[in-house]
Each structure stands twice: as C-alpha cells, then as structure tokens.
Amino acid sequence: MIAIPAIDIIDGKCVRLRHGDFSRRKNYEADPFDQAQAIQDAGITHLHLVDLDGARTGSPKNLAVLEKIASGTSLSVDFGGGIRSYADIRRTLEAGASQVNTGTFLFLVPDAPETCLSLFGPEKLIAAVDIRQGKISVAGWQVQMESAASPFIEKLLSVGWEWFAVTDISRDGTMEGPRPGFYKPLVSAFPAAKFIGGGGVASMDHLRILADCGLYGAVTGKAVFEGRISLEELARFNDQGIVKTEKTT
C-alpha cells in the first residue's frame, strides 16, 4: 500500500472539513504549493489534491493551484472536485494532473463510464465512490443517493475502470481511525479493483490497518496538518516494500 498525503483547498487555502460538512471547516496557515514542496522534499511521490470550491459549485475552481504544483514539483497529483463533464476532465489533465477523480458525473450521465474510458483511458481516471450509511453521496457530499456502492463498482469494473477512491464519510476529518469492516468486504468482493481508501486516519497504526485490508493506497490529510503523522513517517512507510508508481504524463 502507498500512503498519500492530501491537500484540500477552499479559496486557494489549505483546509479540512469534518464529515464533508462545509460549515465545519478548519483553516491552516500552510500555502498549498509550499505544502506540496514539503511533501516532495520528504521523498513522497504522490499527492491527493481536492478542490472543495469545485465540489460545492460543480466546476473546478482551483486548477491554477494544480498547475502550479504539477509544474513546480515532480509529484504525481490526482485531482478531484467539481469534475462534471468531459471538458472538465480534459482541462484538469492539461493543468498537470496525473489522474482525475470523478464521481457525481458518472451518476448524472448514463454513458459517462464508457465514454470517459474511450476518451482518456483507465490509467488517467479514478472513480470517486464516497459512502455514507451504505449509500453513495455526490455533489461534494451534499446529496445522498439511494444507490449502494457495490453495484456501481461492479458496473465500472465490467466496462474497464481500474481505480477507485473509496471514502468512509462517517470517519472523514475525525481522526477516529478507519473501519476495517468498511474496506475488507469491498476488497474481497472486487479483487481486480485498485482501491484507495480514506477517512479517519490519525496515526501510522491506522495506515497499517488499512494496508492489512488489502488497499492499494490510503489518503491522510488532517493528521499531517495536525502533526499527528509526519511527512517523513509517510515517506518511510512508502519505502518499506510499499508499491510505488512513477509519475504519468
């Protein structure tokens, strides 16, 4: 498993939300580009960059931040937030993202899963499957759907999707620790999927728990900003026989 630090952005600044609730926001002094440089300097190769303005409004708003980080560092950046069209995906890739996270769009447009693959290929795409109380949440987690996660994942795998970012919203931003029972059934049911998990990570032990679940990767954001996990610890974790991939172009 690879540990991936996250930077969430509102108004060009680093923030964290609790349970995806925009009214429960915490701001951090770190500049996103400076934080990305620190991540690179620690020896980490990947970054999860989230445009919360885009997630809330339905259109990417922080592509300039992405472009600055992608051009000014060697990090492999996966970017999400407000990706609601093929044009959004293209713009995000052109801004320097190695991979694009999209979730809401895949539900709103019936042929989006197949068309996305034909236009961009499976290595450039990550399906964002954000789950609250067993159901999928979309539109920046502001809308709860009746759809369960497993049939959606099964459908995407059947047409060629490979990468899935699965977030346990009930633990997101809480630092209460991950729930193995949330991830293990998914990994067991869909062994061909490359799952990246997130939600509640607050310690290196929590990352090891997720590794034991069989995830390909795990995202941690608030714990790094709060000083509960250091970037150096993440780098050492990734160096200990962990799967690492090169930055794609």
DSSP labels for 133-167? TTEEEETTTTEEEEEEHHHHHHHHHHHT--EEEEE
103 within a domain of the structure (yes/no): yes
Q: What is the largest CA-CA distance in the chain?
A: 44
Least confident of 17-21, 50-54, 64-68, 218-222: 17-21
Q: What is the pTM of this model?
A: 0.91
pLDDT band at 248 (very low <50, low <70, confident <90, very high): very low
Contact 216, 190 (CB under 8 A): no
Rounded average pLDDT over 38-51: 97
247 within a domain of the structure (yes/no): no
Rounded average pLDDT over 65-90: 97
- List pLDDT tens digits, range 35-44: 999 999 999 9
45 within a domain of the structure (yes/no): yes
Does residue 243 surpass a pLDDT of 70? Answer: no
User: Can you give the pLDDT at residue 117?
Assistant: 97
pLDDT band at 108 (very low <50, low <70, confident <90, very high): confident
Tokens for 214, please give them. Answer: 């069989």
CA distance 9 to 65: 9
Q: What whole-number percentage of the chain has pLDDT above 90?
A: 74
243 within a domain of the structure (yes/no): no
Q: Locate tokens 């200990």: which residue?
A: 240
32 within a domain of the structure (yes/no): yes
Rounded average pLDDT over 37-60: 96
User: Can you give the pLDDT at residue 121?
Assistant: 98
Cα 103 vs. chain centroid, distance in angstroms? 11
Cα–Cα distance list, 137 to 32, 166, 168, 195 (Å): 26, 11, 10, 17
Rounded average pLDDT over 185-204: 94
User: Can you give the pLDDT at residue 166?
Assistant: 94
pLDDT band at 198 (very low <50, low <70, confident <90, very high): confident
Rounded average pLDDT over 94-101: 98
189 within a domain of the structure (yes/no): yes
Average pLDDT, the chain: 91
CA distance 228 to 204: 9
Rounded average pLDDT over 83-98: 97
Cα–Cα distance list, 85 to 60, 89, 109, 113, 142 (Å): 10, 7, 9, 11, 19
- List pLDDT tens digits, range 12-42: 999 988 877 787 889 998 999 999 999 999 9
* Structural domain span for residue 204: 2-238
64 within a domain of the structure (yes/no): yes
Does residue 47 surpass a pLDDT of 90? Answer: yes
Catalytic residue numbers, as ranges:
8, 130
User: Can you give the pLDDT at residue 246?
Assistant: 41
Cα 187–Cα 145–Cα 131 angle in degrees, nearest 5: 30
User: Can you give the pLDDT at residue 245?
Assistant: 40
Report how far apart the first and last C-alpha atoms of the chain are (Å, whole number). 22
CATH number at residue 131: 3.20.20.70
Total count of domains within the chain: 1
191 within a domain of the structure (yes/no): yes
User: Can you give the pLDDT at residue 213?
Assistant: 95
Cα 29 vs. chain centroid, distance in angstroms? 22
Handedness of CA 60, 62, 67, 72 (dihedral sign): negative
- List pLDDT tens digits, range 138-169: 777 777 777 788 999 999 999 999 999 998 88
CA distance 220 to 237: 13
